[in-house]
Amino acid sequence: MSSFDKVRNFNAVDLVVLALGALLAIYFLPESNVQSAGALQVSGIFLTIALLGPVFIACSRDINQIFRVELLLLVGVFFWLLIDILQPGFTVFPASYDGVHNTLVSISLFAFGLLLGIGFWNKETSPNKGLIKKFPIEAYIFPAILVCFILGMMRVIFVCGLNVECFVDGILAPRWYSVWRGVDFGSWDTILIRLRLLGYLVFPLTVLLIHYKRQLNWQAIVSLFLCVLFVLVLVQAGGRRQLGIIGGASMLVWLSLNQPLNGVKVLKALFGLFFLMSVMQFMLEVRNHGIGRVIDGEISIFSTDDDGEVFHVDRNFQFFSMLSDIVPELEPHTGFTGIYSIVGSGIPGSILPGKPTYNVIDFTKYLGAGRAAGWNWTCSAVCELYLIGGNLVVFAGGILFSFLASLGNRILRQGAGRESVIVYGIFVMVLFVGLRAMREIFIVGLILVAIYTLVQGYNLLFRRWKTLRSG
């Protein structure tokens, strides 16, 4: 039994590292020149140590601890909020010292609630009470890949059919000018958007197929080709978080299928992570210009902008700091309306008419000119919790995420086969991307509901059929 199979309650050392790093991050926050480029690097380093310290402590004891969802969520907070401020060219302008100070405090409180709550939710249960029941999945992987790909690409298929030239033209076009984006499907648009989520399953299912076959047979080659086609559509559309979901989920599925981990496997995973981040950066560089310009040599994957930044991660820290200056001084906390807008984001407007817009606060009026009226912004899940009700809600949100993390741990620890690995991988990446914007949990989370329903429904029918046959 690996140490992952044992319940891991919160560790006092983790909390001490988190508290010490957070206090040092706040202490070294400069008061006079907080808006200057690179001014937050020292604070960012200490807060990075605070967040990633518990991860390294756990993995130093057993590398398989990296599968623990609460640790992966700490990495997620670092990714979505701290990578930007570690770069020398980053600036939070026009946020004030108070806004940045509150952002650091909020991040620390969320992480503290996450680590503190995991010890409360983790409970030992009998292995035969797992969340996912075992059923023969081998024969259904490739058909599932084909069905998920067709449903996920339905919009493209409706527009282009089998016309290769139409598909190539759409792939090479800039973000807003693909042939399938300009087609209005009316009330079917929402349905097609939801169906696209099923396409995300093609990637972890392909990993599972190759693992079962142990070779690149014709089914594996076809599945890999379908993955490439789906990735091209995502790259053209600039869907960085979508690619993050499917890439990260596939990586977790591969790692989970190859337990226990060793140094070689970890190095392979790190290479895959670096490649995934490179593609996501590539998407940011080309999505408004088109892949065609890359072919002409006009766009570089690792171009450094005028501010000296190499990797861009949505500027969540900057927006969070700015919103900390706005709420509650200029705008009230969103309260129940904010919660309703997040929960209702996964429900089509035709089913839930009159639901509030996701961005309840009109942030654009504080940013000045240059933003379109329908401009969509994010500031991280921690920020959204703060906007709902302040830092008390942030701390409570950390405890809520710890509950979700405990569910993910149970899925992998008590799962009855490789099907549980698929659910675990997607579940973790939904939470990971949900740290960027909580609406993703309710939108992409529909995938998990569909998988769980299908698995449990099939399992029930399969057992019923065996009972009738034997009887």
Tell me: pLDDT of 3 over 50: no
Of 172 and 383, more confident: 383
The tokens describing 380, both together, are 């991280």
Lowest mean per-residue pLDDT among 126-135, 153-162, 229-238: 126-135
Rounded mean pLDDT, 266-287: 81
Average pLDDT over residues 405-413: 86
Instruction: Output the average pLDDT for the chain.
Output: 81
Q: Answer yes or no: is pLDDT of 434 > 70.
A: yes
Of residues 177 and 70, which shows the higher confidence score? 70
Whole-prediction pTM value?
Answer: 0.83
Q: What is the mean predicted confidence (pLDDT) over 428-445?
A: 83
pLDDT-derived band of residue 257, with 50, 70 and 90 as boundaries? confident
Residues 386/100, Cβ–Cβ less than 8 Å: no
Q: How far is the C-alpha of 104 from the C-alpha of 468, rounded, in Å? A: 61
Query: Where residue 73 falls among pLDDT bands split at 50, 70, 90?
Result: very high
pLDDT at position 27: 96
User: Measured between alpha carbons, how far apart are the two ends of the chain, in Å?
Assistant: 38
pLDDT at 272 over 50: yes
pLDDT of residue 125: 47
pLDDT in tens, 166-180: 888 888 888 777 888
Residues 6+ apart with CB under 8 A from 172: 236, 290, 291, 292, 295
Res 1 pLDDT > 90: no
If you average pLDDT over each of 46-50, 137-141, 344-348, which comes out highest?
A: 46-50
Give the pLDDT score at 122.
66
Point out the least confidently predicted range of 53-67, 143-157, 340-354: 340-354
* Confidence at residue 448, expressed as pLDDT on a 0 to 100 scale: 64
Rounded to an integer, what distance in angstroms lies between the CA atom of residue 12 and that of residue 20? 12
User: Has residue 147 got a pLDDT over 90?
Assistant: no
Q: How high is the pLDDT of residue 127?
A: 45
What pLDDT score was predicted for residue 429?
80
Q: pLDDT confidence of 399, banded at 50, 70, 90?
A: very high
Do residues 350 and 409 lie in contact, with contact meaning Cβ atoms separated by under 8 Å?
no
Residue 373 pLDDT > 50:
no
Kindly state the percentage of the chain with pLDDT values over 70: 79
Q: Which residue has the higher pLDDT, 405 or 278?
A: 405
- Amino acid 117: pLDDT: 92
Q: Please, which pLDDT band fits residue 306 given cuts at 50, 70 and 90?
A: very low
- Token pair of 349, please? 């407007």
Q: Given a cut of 70, is residue 326 above it in pLDDT?
A: yes
- Higher pLDDT pick, 418 / 208: 208
CA dihedral 444, 136, 151, 427 (to 10 degrees): 10
Does residue 76 carry a pLDDT above 80?
yes
Mean pLDDT of 241-251: 83
Q: How far apart are CA 446 and CA 12, in angstroms?
A: 36
Domain ranges of the chain: 3-125+308-335+351-470, 138-295
Higher pLDDT, 307 or 439: 439
Q: What is the mean pLDDT of residues 98-123?
A: 91
Least confident of 129-143, 254-268, 334-348: 129-143
pLDDT surpasses 60 at 375 = no
Residue 369: pLDDT over 70? no
